[in-house]
Amino acid sequence: MDCLFCKIIKGQIPSSKVYEDDMVYAFKDINPMAPVHVLIVPKMHLSGMSDITAENSAVVAHIFEVASKLAKELGISENGYRVVSNCGADAGQTVFHLHFHLLGGKKLNVEMC
């Protein structure tokens, strides 16, 4: 399958790894929108939020555990941060492998959309 993030997970395309375990991979966004901008992705290929089901949602719960842990480790937990997943055309999703943006390190825009 020709998926950019699957290739990053397999190490076929280089990335700045922040965290990895058996279920998830986290790496710095190539075009950061904030001082801390990490992408957290499941190792299993899901195309986006719409692919989440009762059968695979444990990985999403795990991603949020990892997000909380990384926010603490990266020093943004105290001041605050945002976790975002864009789904589909209206949200501007550009990579069709489920991913969560972890954003922080500055005062983020209050308007979310």
* Residues noted as catalytic: 99
Residue 101 φ then ψ, to 5°: -85, 130
| Cα dihedral 93/97/102/106 (nearest 10) | -30
- Whichever of 71 and 98 has its CB closer to ligand 5GP, that residue is 98
Binding ligand 5GP (rule: CB under 6 A), the pick from 1, 2, 22, 31 is 31
Stretch that binds Zn ion, among 29-37, 75-83, 91-99, 103-111 (CB under 5 A): 91-99
Strands ordered across the beta sheet of 81-84: 17-20, 24-28, 36-42, 100-104, 81-84
Residue 45: which of Zn ion, ligand 5GP, none does it interact with, CB under 5 to 8 A by kind?
Answer: Zn ion
CB of 24 within 8 A of CB of 41?
Answer: yes
Binding ligand 5GP (rule: CB under 6 A), the pick from 18, 26, 27, 34 is 27
Residue 47: which of ligand 5GP, Zn ion, none does it interact with, CB under 5 to 8 A by kind?
Answer: none
Strand, coil or helix: 34: coil
The site for Zn ion (CB under 5 A) is made up of: 3, 5-6, 45, 97
